[in-house]
Amino acid sequence: MGVRISLRDVWVRIGPVEVLRGVSLDAGGENIVLVGRNGAGKTTTLRVMLGLLKPYRGSIVAESNGVKLDAGRIQPHVVARLGVGYVPQGRMIFPDLTALENLEVSYGSSLPGDVLEWLYSLIPDLKRFIDRKGRYLSGGEQQMLAVARALVKRPKLLILDEPLEGLAPRIVKTIVEVLKSIEEEGVSIFITESGSLARVRELVDIAYGIDRGEIVYKGPVEGIERDEKARARIWGF
């Protein structure tokens, strides 16, 4: 069984700014993209889902296998234990640690051989740079490592914050292939994107559109570009 995280009417204020204004969404089960321009509130939404940020109004529920957490218990380590992996925006790799050591930090001890073999089966390139330090990895390699790191505890829901940002088209293709093989393992994907959906369309079923802290679309990913109001708010055309 998968993990589900639901937000209902979530409001977040940072300083004087209302960053989220009544966000409701459901993650898990289906593969989902959250799309919105820079500053729309994507990362903030993920931070609420993960328990890194408390809304001043609204509710969050996370459940997995009959275990149900309500807002008071939504804390990052508890959400992770429920089976949620997180790939933060900007990758956040330790530059002075090797790829393997980066994985071990997330795992909490040395990585069992079967976990490493499973990661190699999903991300074959990882083998090539497993002993290289973070600072010597290319952008694409860092992103592959960031994905691997989020997988070490074998999550059922993988949340990725703009994993394709700033990557060359060839590398985007590689990462998309990696994400497809992760889906085939039964892991649900929740991904954010700030531009066109062309790159993620084959990965996801459902799209949420966000603009200035408001959800402006929810439905099949094919429908979002046909929704004139949503399109204008998300892409400005």
Ligand X SMILES: Nc1ncnc2c1ncn2[C@@H]1O[C@H](COP(=O)(O)OP(=O)(O)OP(=O)(O)O)[C@@H](O)[C@H]1O
Using CB under 6 A as the criterion, which residues of the chain lie in contact with ligand X when the complex forms?
A: 14-15, 17, 19, 36, 38-44, 89, 194
Q: Give least dist CB 6 to ligand X, A.
A: 19
Structure tokens at 41: 């509130």
CA dist 47 and 129 (Å) reads: 30
Determine the length of the chain: 237
Nearer to ligand X, 14 or 168 (CB): 14
CA dist 57 and 54 (Å) reads: 9
Q: Give least dist CB 99 to ligand X, A.
A: 25
Helices 99-107, 113-122: inter-axial angle, 10-degree rounding = 120
Contact between 143 and Mg ion (CB under 5 A)? no
Nearer to ligand X, 141 or 211 (CB): 211
Nearer to ligand X, 45 or 174 (CB): 45
Structure tokens at 103: 């994985």
Nearer to ligand X, 49 or 116 (CB): 49
Buried b (16+ CB within 10 A) or exposed e, 52-76: bbebeebebebbbeeeebeeeebee
Nearer to ligand X, 17 or 232 (CB): 17
Which positions from 81 through 120 interact with Mg ion, judged by CB under 5 A? Answer: 89
Helices 139-151, 113-122: inter-axial angle, 10-degree rounding = 130
How many CA atoms lie less than 13 Å away from 198 in the CB half-sphere? 5
Binding characters for Mg ion, 17-46, by CB under 5 A (x = yes): -------------------------xx---
Instruction: Using alpha carbons, select from 119, 114, 79, 121 the residue that is nearest to residue 99.
Output: 119
Helices 169-184, 139-151: inter-axial angle, 10-degree rounding = 10
Q: Give least dist CB 192 to Mg ion, A.
A: 7
* Residue 40 touches which member of Mg ion, ligand X, none, C-beta under 5-8 Å by kind: ligand X
Q: Give least dist CB 196 to ligand X, A.
A: 14
* Residue 92 touches which member of ligand X, Mg ion, none, C-beta under 5-8 Å by kind: none
**What does the binding site for Mg ion look like in residue numbers (CB under 5 A)?**
42-43, 89
